[in-house]
């Protein structure tokens, strides 16, 4: 026998800053705080159904983290320019959803340095601070620049990628062995090295379009009892049931003693969550 805790289509876990961060699993209308379940046996069973997070229709495969194929091809949030903002084509008149683009892309964005598995550069809407960093499993983060639009943040990120990665090594992040970095020192080094490129972008977009921030670094801790020494990944598409003792939550991953699972990857999958031995 198992005790049902939550049931419905998965959404990205909600997370709030704290010491440690506070996670809530979201399945349909159900909300399940995960902190009290640390150390407890947990079972997640996929029914085989997937529902599009936009239109709700059933889909045999999830596209773009939770969309049916028609929505994936139609929605601006699924367009290539979301992952590569420098490819924004709004001003060419070909944006899939101009009103959505105006409300989401034409607002202040932050260019930041973070440390989840080592130094990386990233971008996010100003309204997504600090959620974006917690979603990545960062132990440190530092906003360094503010720009007027998502496209501008993409051009700045491209410049920084000449010197620093924009990727997180998720396996290293989950092992919990990442040393702390001097992010203000890295910021100063990069701003000095990339000053000519930033000057060119300011000349293109306006002197006030790219603004340096005088921010302090943020540090984050996560609810983890024990980090895995070897990271094995669960996948609902290969096995419909995942079970194990919940050892931690970091980023969008549940860390079980049987392996880890990225719940964001399975957005839209209908699951039942319950107590249960592995």
State the Cα–Cα distance between residues 15 and 129, nearest whole angstrom: 12
Summarised one tens digit per residue, pLDDT across range 106-148 is 999 999 999 999 999 999 999 999 999 999 999 999 999 999 9
Give the pLDDT band of residue 2 (cuts 50, 70, 90): low
The pair of three-digit structure tokens given for residue 102, joined into one six-digit string: 């105006």
Domain boundaries defined on the chain? 4-66+223-275, 109-219
3-state percent breakdown (helix, strand, coil) of the chain, nearest 5: 30, 35, 40
Query: Which stretch of DSSP H or E encloses residue 112?
Result: strand 109-115
State the Cα–Cα distance between residues 127 and 99, nearest whole angstrom: 18
The closest of 257, 271, 244 to 8, measured between CA atoms, is: 271
pTM of the model: 0.94
């Amino acid at each position: 026998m198992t005790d049902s805790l939550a049931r419905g289509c998965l959404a990205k876990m909600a997370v709030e800053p704290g010491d440690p961060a506070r996670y809530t699993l979201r399945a349909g209308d159900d909300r399940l705080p995960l902190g009290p379940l640390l150390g407890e046996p947990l079972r997640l069973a996929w029914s085989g159904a997937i529902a599009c997070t936009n239109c709700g229709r059933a889909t045999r495969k999830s596209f773009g983290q939770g969309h049916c194929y028609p929505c994936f091809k139609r929605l601006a949030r699924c367009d290539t320019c979301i992952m590569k903002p420098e490819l924004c084509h709004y001003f060419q008149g070909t944006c899939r959803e101009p009103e959505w683009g105006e409300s989401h892309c034409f607002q202040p964005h932050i260019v930041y340095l973070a440390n989840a598995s080592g130094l990386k550069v990233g971008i996010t809407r100003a309204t997504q601070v600090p959620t974006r960093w917690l979603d990545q499993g960062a132990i440190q983060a530092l906003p360094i620049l503010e720009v007027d639009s998502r496209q501008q943040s993409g051009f700045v990120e491209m410049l920084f990628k000449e010197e620093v990665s924009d990727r997180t090594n998720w396996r290293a992040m989950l092992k919990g062995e990442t040393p702390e970095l001097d992010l203000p020192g890295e910021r100063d080094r990069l701003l000095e090295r990339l000053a000519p490129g930033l000057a060119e972008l300011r000349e293109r977009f306006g002197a006030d379009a790219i603004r340096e921030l005088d921010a302090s670094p943020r540090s984050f801790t996560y609810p983890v009892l024990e980090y895995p020494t070897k990271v094995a990944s669960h996948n609902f598409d290969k096995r419909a049931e995942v079970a194990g003792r919940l050892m931690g939550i970091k980023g969008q991953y549940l860390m079980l003693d049987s392996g880890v699972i990225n719940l964001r990857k399975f957005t839209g999958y209908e699951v039942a969550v319950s107590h249960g031995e592995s």
